[in-house]
Amino acid sequence: MGPDPLPDGARQIGQTGRLRINGIVEESVVDGPGLRFVVFTQGCPHNCAGCHNPDTHRLGGGYVVETPDLLRQFRENPLLAGITFSGGEPFLQPAPLVWLAAQVRRLGKNVVTFTGFTYEKLADMSRERPEIGRLLDLSDILIDGPYLEDLRDLELQYRGSGNQRVLTLRDREDLRPGCRHFSYEDKYDCKNNHIHCAARADRV
């Protein structure tokens, strides 16, 4: 592995059961398929130019919440299709998000996670931090990659720049070793809260 991409103190801001966040949106239709409960985590190492949420960057900002309290809020709305973890960088605090994602999945709902890391980088990081791999496994959709202002595209679904990808669990299987190229067809059918995506990977 290369140098640790996490800033000093990042491992201290997310403890199991407690989560440092910037805020929540109880009903959103722009952060994933269907009606969603969005948790904006606090702390981000990427510092992307033109970031939509710059107030989420500081590790010590925001406020601390208990994950069971977030789950109770989520369960109050039966119309929700699922939960979205945004930020900030959710993978700075994987342990409490793993617990929350697992509870949401047990309710038959889905999980969307945004990250400024690439999937490949997170898979590499998970070798030393298994909770990162667990959060990847619990995320029905992963939207990965830093925001690049030069590639800004307002026509993209859920994303801000053309380098970012929308990856389902099946897509990520195709991106594991043995695949060299991935192309994504931007199509979703969210009927009955199910996520479907057409993807193609050209194997080595």
Q: What is the pLDDT of residue 113?
A: 97
Q: What is the pLDDT of residue 200?
A: 34
Q: Which two tokens stand for residue 73?
A: 């809020």
In the chain, where are the structural domains located? 15-170
- Nearest residue to 119 (alpha-carbon basis) of 157, 159, 151, 166: 166
Cα–Cα dist 179/203, whole Å: 4
The residue written with tokens 């510092």 in the block is 47
Max CA pair span of the chain? 47
Q: What is the pLDDT of residue 49?
A: 86
| CATH architecture classification, 15-170 | Alpha-Beta Barrel (3.20)
Q: What is the pLDDT of residue 203?
A: 31
Report yes or no: 115 and 159 within 8 Å, Cβ to Cβ. no
Residues in contact with 116: Cβ distance below 8 Å, sequence separation at least 6, in sequence order: 44, 45, 46, 48, 87, 89, 144, 145, 146, 147
Question: Tens-of-pLDDT digits for all 204 residues of the chain?
Answer: 343 454 444 444 445 689 999 999 999 999 999 999 999 999 998 988 888 888 888 889 999 999 999 999 999 999 999 999 998 999 999 999 999 999 999 999 999 999 999 999 999 999 999 999 999 999 999 999 998 989 999 889 889 889 999 999 988 888 875 443 333 333 333 333 333 333 333 332
The CA-based angle 121-122-126, given to 5 degrees, is 120
